[in-house]
Amino acid sequence: MLIAGRSRKEDAFIRMGQNIERFCINMLSVHLILQFGLKDKLDISDIKTFLADYPNIPLLPENYGTALGLLRHKDYEGALRLAIAERIDCS
| pLDDT at residue 65, as a whole number | 93
Domain extents in the chain:
22-87
How far apart are the C-alpha atoms of 25 and 29, rounded to whole Å? 6
The pTM assigned to this predicted structure is 0.71
Summarised one tens digit per residue, pLDDT across range 18-30 is 877 778 899 998 9
How far apart are the C-alpha atoms of 25 and 84, rounded to whole Å? 10
Confidence of residue 1 (pLDDT cuts 50, 70, 90): low
